[in-house]
Amino acid sequence: MNTLNSKHIILGITGGIAAYKSAELTRRLRDAGADVRVVMTRAATEFVTPLTFQALSGNPVHTELLDEKAEAGMGHIQLARWADAVLIAPASANCLAKLAHGRADDLLTTLCLASEAPLALAPAMNRVMWQDPATQDNVVTLKKRGVALFGPAVGSQACGETGEGRLLDGPELVAALSSLFKSGLLQGIDVLITAGPTYEPIDPVRFIGNRSSGRMGFALARAAREAGAKVTLISGPCHLTTPDDVQRIDVETAAQMLTTVMQHIARNQIFISAAAVADYRPRVASQQKLKKQQAERIIELERTEDILAQVSQLEPRPFVVGFAAETENVERNARKKLERKALDMIAANRVGKDANAQDIGFNSEYNALQVISANGEVKLELARKTALARELIKLIAEHYSKHRQQQEHTA
């Protein structure tokens, strides 16, 4: 099973004889569906060549912090943002010490400081080094900070001794890494998510649509599933792969999206409306392709149904989360939508083009959100939509749990 499907994994390799085992680990990570980028310390390259990892990962290997060429391509900050998780295997005693003290004197340690992605360490070293009080203190410090420690295992060591300090096997590391993404925060909860654009037909070949790619909604569906939810994803036209274990229903128009949402909403406790639903549709869709004889054509438009507002009027209603796509006055407009549509929470994003004419919000891998609710406001800084979706699902799960407690209290 592809337990790491589409996950961006940075595999950090430090200097130790177990570095040779990371070659097989790279294969296992890719077999599990991960996109792997390898970062090696200089000492690691003494044990195994970067070329081995380039061939196995299918990506260039990163070794230097101050490398002009590398920084012009995918520099350390982009790499840090790219990652869904950072796994260092093997992690030497020196690496644990540097991380525990927040040092950033090479690419790998700098990346760890610069990344908000979960960090996991698979230590491998001589048993005496592992048991040394300094190493054990570093382990305690790292665990306190939320760093995951995988292993080490007990067994015979390359140095000829037997004891604790062996790198876990590839399959064990893949399983441990996969479990990092499964929070269980929404275990047993049904979540309905809309994603993508809607297409409103003008005639059989033309439509009114928008630039939504569906990425934000699909990332939310994956994150909600990983959090244990049973997820139904209602998607407008887009070409994305359905996340594992998610029920996907494709629709085209706002009217079809409304009907499908209403057919499924009753058994869902949470509704997340990430779709960019068209606000208007042609009053009449021509049955035949329109001819271009006239110099001008006026198409009369009418409002579509507001799906989000209708769901929030239901009785009983789910916990309702809307999005606000704004080009200006992001917060003010989002607050108005929160109130007007009687939402529990709204995630506001700036959309359009940035100063370099790149898409932001819509049709981009990245986004930044301002999440507003009656309990206050949280800013989720610019990050890949996959990472952002996990943060947002965490917030939704926390707010939903409080909301449910309040409901039980007043019942």
Q: Residue 228 and residue 187: Cα distance in Å, rounded? A: 4
d(CA 256, CA 254): 5
Helix axes 93-100, 133-144, angle to 10 degrees: 50
State yes or no: residue 83 binds ligand PMT (CB under 6 A). Answer: no
Examine the residue annotation and report whether 159 is marked as an active-site residue of this protein. Answer: yes
Q: Which part of the chain contacts ligand PMT (CB under 6 A), choosing from 64-72, 77-85, 165-173, 206-214?
A: 206-214
Q: Which two tokens stand for residue 371?
A: 């999440």
Which tokens go with 192?
């309905």
Check binding of 265 to ligand PMT (CB under 6 A).
Answer: no
- For residue 92, state whether it binds ligand PMT (rule: CB under 6 A): no
Q: Measured from the CB of residue 310, what is the shortest distance to ligand PMT in angstroms?
A: 8
Q: Mark residues 184-203: x for contact with ligand PMT by CB under 6 A, - for none.
A: ------------x-------
Residue closer to ligand PMT by CB (options 83, 277) is 277
Minimum distance of ligand PMT from residue 341's CB (angstroms): 7
- Contact between 56 and ligand PMT by CB under 6 A: the answer reads no
Q: Which of residues 297-336 bind ligand PMT (CB under 6 A)?
A: 304, 306-308, 322-325
- The stretch near ligand PMT (CB under 6 A) out of 39-47, 134-142, 211-219, 312-320 is 211-219
Residues of the chain by 3-state class (helix, strand, coil), percent to 5: 35, 25, 35
Q: Are 194 and 273 in contact (CB under 8 A)?
A: yes
CB of 403 to ligand PMT, least distance (A): 18
d(CA 343, CA 50): 51
- For residue 315, give Cα distances in angstroms to 29, 118, 234, 336: 46, 39, 21, 22
> Which stretch of DSSP H or E encloses residue 320?
strand 319-326
184 Cβ contact list (under 8 Å, min separation 6): 227, 228
Using CB under 6 A, which of 351, 371, 372, 392 touches ligand PMT? 351
Of the candidate residues 92, 213, 312, 373, the single one contacting ligand PMT (CB under 6 A): 213
Q: Which of these is catalytic: 95, 112, 159, 238?
A: 159
Q: Is 139 exposed, middle or buried (0-12, 13-18, 19+ CB in 10 A)?
A: middle
103 vs 394, beta carbon nearer ligand PMT: 394
- Catalytic amino acids? 159
Binding site for ligand PMT (CB under 6 A): 196, 212-216, 254, 273-277, 279, 304, 306-308, 322-325, 337, 349, 351, 361-363, 385
